[in-house]
Amino acid sequence: MHAPAPSPARWNTGTEPAKGAHSVLIGRAAELAELTGALDDAAAGRARVVLVGGDAGVGKTHLVSTLERAARERDCAVLVGQCAELGESVPYLPLADALWTASRGGGPEADAVRDALEARPVLGRLLPDGDGGAGGAEPLASDLGRQRLFGGALGLLGELGGDRPVLLVLEDLHWADRSTRDLLTFLSRVLQRERVCLVGTYRSDDLHRRHPLRPLVAELRRLPNVTAVQVRPFGRGETAEYLAALSGTPTAPVPADLVERVHLRSEGNPFYAAELHAAGELEELPAGLADLLLSRIERLSPDARHVVRVAAVAGRRVDDELVRRVSGLAEDAAGEALREVVSHQLLVPGGAGYSFRHALLREAVYADLLPGERTRLHAGFARLFAGEPDERANGRAHEPTGERANGRRGSAAELAHHSLAAHDLPAAFAASVRAGREADRLGAPAEAFEHHERALELWDAVPDPESAAGTGRERLALAAARAAAEAGELRRAVHRLRRLLELADPADAPLGVEIREQLSSCLGELDQDAESQAVAGAAVAMLPPDPPTPERARALATYAKTLLWRDPGGELPALAEDAAAAARAVGAVDAEASLLVTLGNYHESLTGEDAAEMFARARDLAVGSGSSLVTMRAMFHYARVRFDRGDVEDAARAAADGVRYAESGGLGHSTYGGLLRCLQYLIRYAAGDWAEAARLAEGFGVQVVRRAEAQVSAYALFLEVARGDAVVDERLRWLEPLLPDDPFLVFMVGGLAAEHALWRGDPDAALDHVEAVVNSSYGTELGVLRVAATGLQAHAERAARARAAG
């Protein structure tokens, strides 16, 4: 299917896996390949040791259990032993566990282990029914006893390996006693040609700086026959696949918003994800998970526990000075407490501060605070960020001076957060207003919207909010709606703008015009052309034609844009020319640039002439005006027309410039930000640069739930269908629920899904997709010819099959 240039108005786990996922190994192909490769080496007479590390709950046991099943399928002897959190009280516990379990099993494996144990009494003494060194035998704790036991273990593994390869798994080595660590060192060094694969697992988050296993792992990894495998957390797609397996519907997508919430809170940890999913992803942590996380805090000293609580209130990140000043600890005591917390890997140093190793740990600590304690700590942070004197610092030596002493080290957003949590509503309101403006200046529309919304929620709860905000409520609400639109939340922006129209003072014409201009633009991008035009016309009617003003020029530019799609009276060309002249006369450069883009589109559609020069002039004007949205619109149309005319290299440069401009201003997910990304991808796809197209498509989400996301996602199908990628079926599953409300998606997705069905030899499914496209509002578009051709090919294939079947 020919790839159409996008149209701005018309595309416009440390636990057993949960039930349903027990047989699924998700996202661990590379790690399993490393382990099975070690097993193959062992079978060939090259002994291997693999140390498998990862945080608690990340899936080490599930991974190794999969290896155990694979080993049994290959007729290997499998011995599995576990350490326990018993300190040094039970020496050689995992080896004893492995031998006891194997000797009590059935089949030839148990017989071989029993025979080997009978030949080596020193090992039999490890078992529950052994004598442990009674009867005159050499004590196992002596040097000679240890040598005999190590030799017996090596001999037993060698003997078992003579019959068939051996997989020895020692789990939870972070709890291993010293004797077990010494045995692991011995076997790692002396196993050479035995057909033995030794796999040890450990929790890397438990290996604090003083943990005895930490230097041992570093030492063993230097040996040539030792390999380290680190089990990483899930990526977002893997979390989605895991949740689908937990739900018992591995082929059906889990709602993307649920995946996003669970993935962000669990940070890809399968155990945490399963617990959150089982609890319905509640706002509060499940009690069992919270208790598990908090148990790590109880091991700390009182000062260290206090530091962790302060850090939890600070947020995900904190630095030394904030900890010291808010905790009230002396500098030496705060430093020692921080060192203890870091050594236990609860906080991880990085940059100029520390962050929690896992967000859920911070969440559990924060939730465990008493209400009064939480409020006091938030108030302490708010005082620092607001520049108030630190009450606890009076009389303390070595206090910082200058700006740092004033406490102005946090952003307005931080001050707003802590003030609100400390129940200081006036401070939270003022800081939220300032944070919204800061986010606007920094090109972060999504964050600006959140701050504006918070300020609006507090408006009625603070004295004289208009003076504190420096603006009226309606203007603040308009800023929030504009930020929502720039962040790609068009429907949310439309809802707020309609509500604002109902509440705004009818006598305030400038405000009414601005609201209607913004609403018209949003409606146009949602393909609601009739209402968009009516709203824009109403904005123009509110302003007198004489004398000309920049406000009326902008209103006319918005109205002229709507005439591109609905102009029964043919008024567009004359209106746009007159409006552009008026805009030049009053210095409304952004309105003039917008009108030039509209005129370029009009002349191109009417005469087919090259409008690139007009678009380039509009782009240069818009950049100088500071209007990001007009600039991106001009950049898009310039790149599009160069692409349409076959100038691929110039089009590629122009599209890349547009994408960089959009992303630098935080507008990558706005309407024209998405258009530019899709166009950049299509240019590379059409030019045959599929490697670069594939790289660009990596940013097109598969698990989408919003219209704007879906329209971007659909473009990735061009390349994926052409290459027969496995992701096509998953992408189509996520797009399908969004088709009924978007004719352009029906056109795009239907045509490509039809081709995909033909490639798979399913002409009936292809015809269903073709019929949906032909019956849509795009059924009369020129691009539907290729879809119709696909339908004809499907008819032909179906007829051929019918003839072949008689």
pLDDT at position 402 is 35
Cα(497)–Cα(632) distance, rounded to whole angstroms?
23
CB-based burial, 488-499: b 16+ in 10 Å, e otherwise: bbbebbbebbee
pLDDT in tens, 157-192: 999 999 999 999 999 999 888 889 999 999 999 999
Q: Residue 133's pLDDT band (boundaries 50, 70, 90)? A: very low
Euclidean distance between the first and the last CA atom of the chain, given in angstroms as a whole number: 32
Confidence (pLDDT) at 344: 86
Output the six-digit token pair for 114: 């029993």
* Placement of tokens 């030496």 in the chain: 332
Query: What helix, strand, coil percent values describe the chain, rounded to 5?
Result: 65, 5, 30
pLDDT at 136 over 70: no
Give the pLDDT score at 380. 92
Mean pLDDT of the chain: 84
The residue among 635, 699, 674, 664 whose CA lies nearest residue 488 is 674
Residue 667: the pLDDT is 81
Alpha helices in 442-586 (DSSP H): 445-458, 465-469, 473-486, 490-503, 509-525, 529-541, 550-563, 572-586
Given a contact cutoff of 8 angstroms between Cβ atoms, the answer to whether 202 and 228 are in contact is no
The structure tokens listed for 788 are 């119709």
| The predicted structure's pLDDT at residue 210 | 80
Q: Sheet containing 347-350: which strands, arranged edge to edge?
A: 317-318, 353-356, 347-350
- The pair of structure tokens assigned to 52 is 């498998």
Quick check: 409 pLDDT over 90? no
The rounded distance, in Å, linking the Cα atoms of 564 and 148 is 91
CA atoms within 13 A on the CB side of 475: 11
Tokens read off for 164 = 């068939």
How many other CB atoms are there within 10 angstroms of residue 255's CB atom? 14
Residue 394 has pLDDT above 70, yes or no: no
Report the SS3 class of residue 31.
Answer: helix
How far is CA 482 from its chain centroid? 25
* pLDDT above 70 (res 778): no
More confident residue, 255 or 583: 583
Query: DSSP state, 51?
Result: E
pLDDT in tens, 785-797: 667 677 777 777 7
Residue 210 amino acid letter: R
Find out whether 445 and 438 touch, Cβ atoms under 8 Å.
no
| Residue labelled with tokens 């269908």 | 721
29-230 CATH: 3.40.50.300
Is 654 within 8 Å of 638 (Cβ atoms)? yes
Q: Tell me which amino acid residue 357 is.
A: R
Q: What is the CATH T-level fold of the domain 700-806, as seen in this structure?
A: 1.25.40
- Is the dihedral angle over the CA atoms 298, 304, 308, 310 positive or is it negative? positive
Residue 389: per-residue pLDDT: 55
pLDDT band of 87, cuts 50, 70, 90:
low
CA atoms within 13 A on the CB side of 151: 11
What confidence tier does 587 reach under pLDDT thresholds 50, 70, 90? very high
Is 14 in contact with 729 (CB distance < 8 Å)?
no
Highest mean pLDDT out of 79-88, 266-275, 529-538? 529-538
What's the predicted TM-score (pTM) here?
0.70
Are 600 and 618 within 8 A, CB to CB?
yes
Helices (H), 267-370: 270-278, 287-294, 302-314, 320-327, 331-343, 359-368
Q: Which two tokens stand for residue 750?
A: 């239907």
- Which one-letter DSSP state was computed for residue 737? G
Q: Hey, which residues does 550 pair with through a beta bridge?
A: none
pLDDT of 41 strictly over 90: yes
Decide which of 50 and 102 is more confident.
50
Q: pLDDT at residue 130 above 80?
A: no
- β-pairing, 317-318 with 226-230? unpaired
DSSP state of 738: G
The average pLDDT across 429-453 equals: 90
DSSP 56: T
Strand, helix or coil at 342?
helix
In this structure, what DSSP letter does residue 300 have? S
* Residue 18, pLDDT score: 43
pLDDT at 663 exceeding the cut of 60:
yes
Residues 556 and 309: their CA atoms lie apart, in Å, by 57
Band of pLDDT at residue 135, cut at 50, 70 and 90: very low
CB 557 within 8 A of CB 43: no
Q: What is the pLDDT of residue 405?
A: 37
Q: What is the mean pLDDT of residues 619-633?
A: 89
| Residue 779 burial (CB count, 10 A) | 16
**Beta strand pairing call for 317-318 and 353-356:** antiparallel
CB 189, CB 223: distance < 8 Å? yes
pLDDT, tens only, 361-371 = 888 899 899 99
- List Cβ neighbours of 398 (8 Å cut-off, separation of 6 or more): 331
**Is the predicted pLDDT of residue 749 greater than 60, yes or no?**
yes
Identity (one letter) of the amino acid at 345?
Q
Predicted confidence at residue 804, as pLDDT, reads: 80
pLDDT confidence tier of residue 79, bands split at 50, 70 and 90:
very high
Contact 135, 43 (CB under 8 A): no
Q: How far apart are CA 596 and CA 600, in angstroms?
A: 6
pLDDT digits (tens, 9 = 90+) for 443-462: 788 889 999 999 999 999 99
Q: Which residues, including other chains, have CB under 8 Å from residue 195's CB and lie 6 or more apart? A: 42, 43, 44, 45, 47, 161, 162, 164, 165, 166
Angle value at C-alpha 488, between 483 and 489, nearest 5 degrees: 75
pLDDT at 250: 62
User: Predicted confidence band at 107 (pLDDT cuts at 50, 70, 90)?
Assistant: low
- The confidence score (pLDDT) of residue 141 equals 54
With bands split at pLDDT 50, 70 and 90, how would you rate the model's confidence at 291?
A: confident
Residue 595 pLDDT class (50, 70, 90 cuts):
very high
Residue boundaries of the structural domains of the chain = 29-230, 700-806
Task: Look at residue 137 and tell me whether its pLDDT is greater than 60.
Answer: no
Q: Token digits for 337?
A: 């407490």
| Average pLDDT of span 741-750 | 84
Take residue 616 and report the two structure tokens written for it: 């380039």
CA–CA gap between residue 806 and residue 119 (Å, rounded): 73
Which residues on adjacent β-strands are paired with residue 348? Answer: 355
- Asked if the bond preceding 91 is cis, omega within 30° of 0, the reply is no
* pLDDT (0 to 100) of residue 11: 34
Portion of the chain with pLDDT greater than 70, in percent? 88
Mean pLDDT of 492-507: 90
Name the band, by pLDDT with cuts 50, 70 and 90, for residue 238: confident
